[in-house]
Amino acid sequence: MLPSADEYEITPAELQTIFAEENNTSVRLIDCREEDEWAICRIESPGEQSTELIPLSRFAAEAPEKLGEESRPVVIYCHHGMRSMNATLFLRERDIEKVWSLAGGIDLWSTQVDPSVPRY
């Protein structure tokens, strides 16, 4: 189950539960790290829905167009959770309410959920 719209973060454990229990296309996963970080590792969405890269350096220009009409919940992640929180706040300020930042980013995901994801 997703956090309420009053919250701005989702934990790695909550996201893992959503991936395990819900339709694989129920959450849109966005990586807001830069391309060099994306090349090192990423969190893979289950099923046919792939994780998308929208780097924070281009987020303001690309995200509103790509996510403006999105009806699915959106989870954004980065390395430790700071950039993804900025991206989440950016979208919330534009009335996209079903968006959360992954607490602790890919680093916490790697330690708590999937140790096969390299840490850097």
What is the pLDDT tens value at each position of the chain, 120 positions in all? 789 889 999 999 999 999 888 655 688 999 999 999 999 999 988 876 789 999 999 999 999 889 877 788 999 999 999 999 999 999 999 988 899 999 999 999 999 999 999 999
User: Does residue 1 sit within a domain?
Assistant: no
Q: What is the CATH number of the domain that holds 18?
A: 3.40.250.10
Note whether residue 120 is domain-resident. Answer: no
Q: What is the pLDDT of residue 21?
A: 80
Looking at the structure of the chain, the number of domains it has is 1
Looking at the domain assignment, is residue 117 inside a domain? no
Domain of residue 92: give its range. 9-112
Cα-based distances in Å from 118 to 14, 17, 49, 65, 79: 21, 21, 21, 31, 11
Round to whole Å and give the CA distance between 34 and 14.
Answer: 25
Residue 14 belongs to some domain of the structure: yes
The reply to whether 40 falls in a domain is yes
